[in-house]
A and B are shown apart, each in its own frame.
Chain A
Amino acid sequence: MDALIQLSEVTKRYAAGGAPALDHVSLMVAPGEAVAVMGPSGSGKSTLLNLVAGLDKPTSGTVTVAGQRVDALSETRLARYRRRQVGMIFQFFNLLEDLTVADNVLLPAQLAGTPRRKARARCGQLLAQLGIAKYRDSYPGRLSGGERQRVAIARALVNDPAVLLADEPTGAVDSATGEEIGKLLLELNAAGQTLVLVTHSPDLAARYAQRTVRLVDGRIAAGTPSGTAAGPRPEAGARP
C-alpha cells in the first residue's frame, strides 16, 4: 500500500547548533489510517504535525504527502497544499472571533475558490453532521468549548482534505466533551478520513487510533512501528 504521508530521515532544528526538535524521524501513514503521536512536552509532536501541515520546513529530510514533496514547495504552493490536502484542528480551536460559525467554516473553501453555492452546501452539510447547524449565525465567543471544537472540525473538513491533523483536540475541553470529540474523530476515520492525532492521552490514543507513534527527545522511541499498520481498523471501513 502506498503511504499517504511519508517522512524520511526528517530533522528539524530551530537554532543552528541547538538540539534537534526532530532527529532523523522516518514515518509512513497509509490512506485511511488513524495514527496517534504521543510523547512528553518538548518531544517534537507539534513540530512533526507542523511539518506535515506545511507550516514549517525540515532542516533535512523529506516530507511527502499525497505524492507531493511538501518540504520543497514555495510559500504560495504550501498555502494551496494546505487548502486542498490538509485540515487542521487545534487545541485552542483557533477560530476567528470576528466571523460567524458559518463564515469560519466557509473561509477555507472561499480561499480555495470553491463556488459559493457548493461551499455553502458543504458547510450546511458539515454543520448538520456535527450537530451545530443551529449555531451557524452565532459567533464563536458564545459557544462552549466542545461546540467550538466541532466548528473547528467542520472548518478543517470543508475542503475534503486528504489528511486531518489534530493537535491535542481534547486538550482544552472537559472530559465528557473530550469523549464526544474523540468519538467524532473515530467516526470520521471510520468513514475513510486519514487522521494524525497528537495527544498526551494514552487513553485517547488507544481508543481512537490504530497505531501509536511515541516520540522521545525528537526521536521515535524504540519499539514503535514507524511504518504503516497492516491495514485500517476493521470496523472503520477504511478506504483501500
Chain B
Amino acid sequence: MTGGAVLKAASAGARRRLVQSAVVFVVVTVAATASLLGLTMLTSANEAFQTAFTVRHGAHLAVTVDAAKVTGGELARTRHLPGVTQAAGPYPETTISLSISIPGHSIPAGMNSGSGLTVVGRASRSGPLDGITQNTGRWATREGEIDLAIYSPVRGPIGRLATATVTSVPGKPKLPIAGYASSVVQDEDGWVVPSEITALEKAGAPAQEQMLYTFRDAATPAQISADLAELKAALPAGAVTSYVSWLNTEHNLAAVQGVTAPFLAAYAVIGVLLAVVIIASVVAAAVAASYHRIGVLKSIGFTPAQVVASCLAQLGIPALAGAVAGAAVGSRWVLPMIDTGPFHISVGVPVWISVSVPLGMCAVAGLAALVPAVRAGRLRAVQAITAGQAPRPRRGHAAHRLAGRLKLPRPASLGLAAPFSRPAPALATVAVIAFGLAAVVLGVGLDSQMTQIVFSSGWATIGVSLARRLTLLVAVLAALGVFSLVLMLARQRAHDLAVFKALGMTPRQVIITVTCWIIAPAVAAAVIALPAGVALEGAVARAVVSQQASPQAQAPPGGAQRPRVPPQGAHPSLPPQGGHIVSRTRLGPGGRLGPGGRLGPGGRVGSGAPAGLAHVYSPGVLALLALAGLAIAAAGALGPATWAAASKTTTALHAE
C-alpha cells in the first residue's frame, strides 16, 4: 500500500464528509485570522508609529515660542541650523479653556471641560511637517469652528448639537466641533483656522507660535536635548516656552502597547483554547462518524498507521487550507480594516507571524486529531464496522427520566436531557460557550473600566474599540464552535430526530428540541464563565494598571528632561483618571522646568487600582451576561436545528 492510496482515501473522505471538512476549514480560518491579528497588534504597535511618523512627515520636535521675544527672521534662520533637516511654521498658537455642553444631556465628568488646551492655527491638515490625520468629521476650514485632537481630554459630538464654549476669553465664543484629528507629535489639543487664534487669545497673554523641526540626529533623548539646546542658543533667551518631543509620543505609544498587551494576551489565549476545543471536538466527531469507513479500509488492507495517516490527512487538507486562508484573510483584508492607532496606518504582518500562524494552526489541528485518529487506528476491522452501525451504549437515563417529569412541552424536555446522553460533545459545548462568555465578560468589564484605567481618553477609546472587536471575534468563534458541535450532534442523532418526526414531531418542535440541547451546557458554562470572566477581568485590569504604574510607563526616556506632566498640572479641572497622555514640557524663566512640569502628589497616573474596579459587574449585568452566553449558544444552534427540521426523514430512518 503506498502513500498515494492513503492520500486518495483521505481526499475522498474529505470530499465525502463535506460538512465536516467545511466546519474544520471555517474554524481554522477564523482561529488563524484571530491569531494573526492578535499577534500582529501585540508586536507591531511601534512599527505602526514609525510608519505613521514617516507617512505623516512627523516632526522630531514641536516648539512653542513667545512671539514677543523672537522675530520672524530669527525663526527663519533656525531652519538652517546645522542639525536641522527640515522645519515648518510658524503656526499661531494659543492656550484656551474649553467647556462642552449638550442641551438635555450630560457628558461624563472629566470629558466636558479642559483648560490649558493648546490650539494651533493650521489652514490645512497637510504641510511639510506633521500632517494631521482626520479621524472623524472634517477639517475646520472657517472661523468659528474647531477640530479637537482625539487624545484631547474633552469630548463631544460633532456638529452644532454640542456647544464648545471657550471659557478663557471674554465673550466666551462658541465653537462647533468640526471633527476629531490626530497629530503624530501630539503637541496640540485642537486646531482652528489661523485667523481664529487672535480671537481666542487671552487679553495680555503672550502671543505664541509653533515651530516644527526634524533633525539629523534625534533618535535618543540626549540627541533631542542637544537639538533643543542648539535651537535655544539660536533664539533669544526665553523665546522657547515649551516643547514636545517625538520620543514622548513614541514612549506613550509603547505605554499604550503595554496597556493593551494584557488583554490582547487574554483574548489570544481564549481564542487559541477555543480553537483547540472546537477542532478537537469536530475531529473526534468526524473520526467517530467514519468508523464504518475505517473498518472497510482496514478490511482491504490498511495498516493502523495508514488509518491514522488517512484520518490526519483527511482533516489536514481542510485544516491546512483554513490556516492558509485565515492568514491571508487576516493580513490582506481584516488587518487593513482595523485601526491599530489614531493615524489610520495599517501595519504589515511580520514574516515570522505569516509563517508561524498557519503552521501553528495546522499543528493544533493535527494534535487535536491525533488522539481520535490513533484510537481509530487501533480498532479491529470488525469492531470499526460494527461501531459505525450498532447503537452505542447510552448514558443520561436519569436525566431523561427527570426531564420527562418536568411540566414542559415534550420537545423541550427531550432536548434538555439530550446532552447527558453524550457527555463528551456536551462537555465540549460547555467549554466553547464558557470561553465565548468569558471573553464577553472580559469585554464588558474592560469596556466600562478602560476609560478609568487608561490615562488618556483618546487612548482609552482605542483600547475599548480594540477590546470590543476582539470580544466580537471570540464571541463569533464561540458561536461558530457551538454551530459546529450542534451540527455534528445533529448528524450523529439524525436517526433519533427522524424517529421523532415519524412519530409526529413538527419542524418547529424539532427546532425546539435541537435548540434545547444547548441550554444545559449554556447554564453550566455560565456557572463557570461568569466568575472566571470576572476574575480574568480583574487580573487583566490589574495588569493594565501595573503596566501604567511601571517605571517605563511613568517616565519617558530622558527622565527629568521630559517629565510626564501630571493630569492636574496640565488640566486642573480634570479628575486624576481623565489625564492627558501628551507630556508637554513647560519651561520656566531661564528654560527651567515650571511648576507644571513636576510630578505632584497623585501625579503617578494609574499607580493604584481605580476605585471602580470592583463595581463593574452588578447582579443585573451578570444576569444579562449569562443570557449573552445563552444567546451565543442559541445563535450557534439555530442553524443546525433548522437543518435537522428540514432534513429528510426517510433517509435517516433507513440508515441502519
Contacts and interface: CB of A to CB of B under 8 A. Distances in A.
A15 B502 CA distance: 23
A164 B654 CA distance: 18
Interface in A52-108: 53, 55-56, 75-76, 79-80, 82-84, 88, 90, 92, 94-100, 103, 107-108
Contacts of B499: 94-96
B400 A103 contact: yes
A51 to B, nearest CB: 10
B397 A98 contact: yes
B401 interface: yes
A75 B506 contact: yes
Which 5 residue pairs across A and B have the least CB separation, nearest first?
A83-B504, A110-B410, A79-B506, A82-B504, A108-B503
16 contacts: A55-B501, A55-B650, A56-B650, A76-B506, A88-B503, A90-B653, A95-B499, A96-B496, A98-B421, A99-B400, A103-B401, A107-B500, A110-B410, A111-B411, A111-B504, A155-B503
A92 B650 contact: no
Contacts of B410: 107, 110-111
Contacts of A131: none
Interface residues on B, range: 20 to 34
Nearest to A95: B499
A97 B507 contact: no
A79 B505 contact: yes
A38 B503 CA distance: 24
Given A94-B653, A100-B401, A107-B410, A82 B391 contact: no
Contacts of A231: none
Most chain B beta-carbon neighbours within 10 Å: one of A56, A88, A111: A111
B348 to A, nearest CB: 52
Given A53-B502, A80-B504, A92-B656, A98 B649 contact: no
B127 interface: no
Nearest to A50: B650
B397 A94 contact: no
Interface string B70-100: 0000000000000000000000000000000
B620 interface: no
Contacts of B417: 98
A82 B503 contact: yes
B404 interface: yes
A55 B504 contact: no
Contacts of A90: 653
Most chain B beta-carbon neighbours within 10 Å: one of A75, A90, A92, A95: A75
B168 interface: no
Nearest to B411: A111
Contacts of B649: 55-56
Contact of B391 (A56, A108, A110, A141): A141
B393 A111 contact: no
A66 B391 CA distance: 36
B165 interface: no
B508 interface: yes
A135 interface: no
A141 B393 contact: yes
**Interface majority SS on B: helix, strand, loop or mixed?**
helix
A71 B50 CA distance: 71
B393 to A, nearest CB: 7
Interface string A153-189: 0010001000000000000000000000000000000
B506 A103 contact: no
Contacts of B396: 98
A46 interface: yes
A82 to B, nearest CB: 4
Interface string B476-503: 0000000000000000000110011111
Contacts of B502: 53, 55, 82, 88, 94
Contacts of A99: 400, 404
Contacts of B650: 46, 50, 55-56
A80 B508 CA distance: 12
B394 interface: yes
Contact of A107 (B391, B503, B506): B503
Contacts of A112: 504
B509 interface: yes
Given A55-B649, A88-B502, A97 B509 contact: no
A139 B656 CA distance: 19
A75 B391 CA distance: 28
Contacts of A56: 648-650
Nearest to B420: A98
A179 B229 CA distance: 111
B398 to A, nearest CB: 11
Contacts of A139: 394, 397
A183 B509 CA distance: 36
A16 to B, nearest CB: 16
Interface string A123-153: 0000000000000000101000000000000
B369 to A, nearest CB: 28
Most chain A beta-carbon neighbours within 10 Å: one of B504, B508, B656: B504
Contacts of B418: 98
A100 B402 CA distance: 12
Contact of A46 (B401, B496, B654, B656): B654
A79 B394 contact: no
B2 to A, nearest CB: 36
Contacts of A94: 495, 499, 502, 653
A88 B396 CA distance: 27
Given A90-B653, A107-B410, A79 B400 contact: no
Contact of B503 (A50, A83, A100): A83
Given A55-B653, A96-B496, A111-B411, A80 B397 contact: no
Contacts of A75: 506-507
B397 A76 contact: no
A157 to B, nearest CB: 12
A172 B344 CA distance: 71
Contacts of A155: 503
Contacts of B507: 75-76, 79
A58 to B, nearest CB: 13
B489 to A, nearest CB: 13
Contacts of A110: 410
A118 to B, nearest CB: 15
B490 to A, nearest CB: 15
A82 B650 CA distance: 14
A68 B627 CA distance: 44
Contacts of B653: 55, 90, 94
B360 to A, nearest CB: 40
B656 A141 contact: no
A103 B403 CA distance: 11
Interface in B386-430: 391, 393-394, 396-397, 400-401, 404, 410-411, 417-418, 421
Nearest to A79: B506
A201 B656 CA distance: 21
B509 A98 contact: no
Given A50-B650, A107-B503, A97 B394 contact: yes
A79 B499 CA distance: 12
Nearest to B503: A108
A107 to B, nearest CB: 6
